[in-house]
Amino acid sequence: MRIESPRILAAVRDLGVEHRPGASLAGLTSLGIGGTTDLLRVREHRDLPALVRLLRAEGIEHRFLGGGTNVLIADGELPWVVLQLAAAAPDVSIEGNAVWVDAAADLGRTVTTCARQNLGGMEGLIGVPGSVGGALRMNAGAYGTEIGKFVREVEVYRAASGENETLREEQISFEYRHTSFGPGDVMLRARLELPERPYREILAGIRVCNEKRRASQPLNQKSAGCIFKNPPGGSAGRMIDGLGLKGFRVGDAMVSDRHANFFVNAGRASSADMLGLIAEVRARVRSAHGCELEEEVIVWNA
Ligand code: EPU
């Protein structure tokens, strides 16, 4: 969708929002898949309510993109504009055990920044790609650690009220790859509380997780991490692997030959290729195991 009205563009500019017309979303996602639309980059959280009011008043549909590492976006010209938060500088500030972190901050860099201040606990999250905001929304986890455990409060923009609000930990529930945040909540900033630990120990933990990840996941290929959630008590990767589907392709979308729950863009995969692969693998797992796999990746159909 293109915003062409000079009046609307001037109002967007007045809010200090950067307008990138016809941006390729493929370039903003780790899968390298996604069509084109206007991208609006929001520099100040406080301007978000006014921007959303403006878009609503003008009948312009919009969606929020975080780090782009867990999303599968439709092909072609998209019927909504995309909003993305620009990270504040500095995006992480630390006071004792309390860490204020911007939703747009890179998760891995946040883990290492905290480690340098002798704050640990999040070592397992080191290789999870994406932004802190995406990690909060999905309650990202790996190697026994989930981000939700460290959250004390989160500032969100709530579409329901049209305002920025602060939610305390007791108002949020974090479960396996699921949280109580609504579809209209946009993560802005969080306060985490991390345990004190010597930098050297944290670094050793980080190294172990990095090695495990390198050994089992296709880190140098375009992917959105695991494509399906693990079913209760089971492993999606093991089931898909057991059906001999590593390397199985639909167009350029391929089941990784390293980890069967990673689907990679092995060339110029379209969204349709990836959705076709997801449907086919799901159907085969259903007929072999009677188990309906649920996507972990967020799908944006046009
Ligand atoms: N396995 C296979 N074949 C495969 C992949 C896995 O047999 O191709 C087996 C493994 O040998 C192991 C079991 O399946 O016995 C589980 O595999 P793994 O340890 O790799 O963990 P996972 O359950 O597949 C989860 C998360 C990952 C996270 C890792 C490490 C989900 C859906 N996945 O993977 O998170 O990195 O544990 O903690 O919860 C993600 O969320 O995008 C993601 C990649």
To test ligand 1's pocket by mutation, which of 126, 216, 248 has the most ligand atoms within 8 angstroms of CB? Answer: 216
Q: Which atom of ligand 1 is nearest to the CA of 246?
A: 8
Using DSSP's 3-state secondary structure scheme, residue 9 falls into helix
| Catalytic residue status for 226 | yes
For ligand 1, the distance from its centroid to the CA atom of residue 68, given in whole angstroms, is 21
- Which of 227-252 are b and which e, b meaning 16 or more Cβ less than 10 Å from the residue's Cβ? bbbbeeeeebbebbbebebbebbbbb
Question: How far is residue 298's CA from residue 171's CA, in Å, rounded to a whole number?
Answer: 24
For ligand 1, the distance from its centroid to the CA atom of residue 87, given in whole angstroms, is 30
For residue 253, name the pLDDT band (cuts at 50, 70, 90): very high
DSSP state of 127: T
Q: Which atom of ligand 1 is nearest to the CA of 258?
A: 8
Residues 6 or more apart in contact with residue 50 via CB below 8 angstroms: 15
Residue with CA nearest ligand 1 atom 27: 142
| Catalytic residue status for 177 | yes
Does ligand 1 have an atom closer than 6 angstroms to the CB of 129?
no
Question: How far is residue 157's CA from residue 46's CA, in Å, rounded to a whole number?
Answer: 9
Tell me what pLDDT residue 243 has.
98
For ligand 1, the distance from its centroid to the CA atom of residue 243, given in whole angstroms, is 16
Give the pairing type, strands 81-85 and 62-64.
parallel
For ligand 1, the distance from its centroid to the CA atom of residue 173, given in whole angstroms, is 24
Tell me what pLDDT residue 88 has.
86
Q: Which of 177, 197, 213, 258 is catalytic?
A: 177
Tell me what pLDDT residue 249 has.
98
Q: Which of 191, 209, 226, 249 is catalytic?
A: 226
For ligand 1, the distance from its centroid to the CA atom of residue 106, given in whole angstroms, is 22
Residue with CA nearest ligand 1 atom 41: 226
Residue 286 has pLDDT above 90, yes or no: yes
Segment 147-150 long-range contacts (CB within 8 Å, at least 24 positions apart):
147/107, 147/122, 147/174, 147/192, 148/172, 148/174, 148/179, 149/121, 149/174, 150/121, 150/122, 150/192, 150/193, 150/194
Tell me what pLDDT residue 87 has.
87
Note whether 239 and 285 are within 8 A (CB).
yes
Q: Judge if pTM exceeds 0.95.
A: yes
Q: Which atom of ligand 1 is nearest to the CA of 227?
A: 42
End-to-end Cα spacing for the chain: 11
Residue 267 has pLDDT above 90, yes or no: yes
Does ligand 1 have an atom closer than 6 angstroms to the CB of 237?
yes
Higher pLDDT residue, 123 or 88? 123
Q: Which of 192, 165, 129 minimizes the C-alpha distance to 45? A: 165
For ligand 1, the distance from its centroid to the CA atom of residue 95, given in whole angstroms, is 35
Question: How far is residue 5's CA from residue 25's CA, in Å, rounded to a whole number?
Answer: 22
Does ligand 1 have an atom closer than 6 angstroms to the CB of 252?
no
Note whether 26 and 265 are within 8 A (CB).
no
Residue with CA nearest ligand 1 atom 26: 142
Q: What is the pLDDT of residues 81-114, one digit of tens each?
A: 999 999 889 999 999 999 999 999 999 999 999 9
For residue 165, name the pLDDT band (cuts at 50, 70, 90): very high
Q: What is the pLDDT of residues 200-222, one digit of tens each?
A: 999 999 999 999 999 999 999 99
Does ligand 1 have an atom closer than 6 angstroms to the CB of 282?
no
Q: What is the pLDDT of residues 14-48, one digit of tens each?
A: 999 999 999 999 999 999 999 999 999 999 999 99
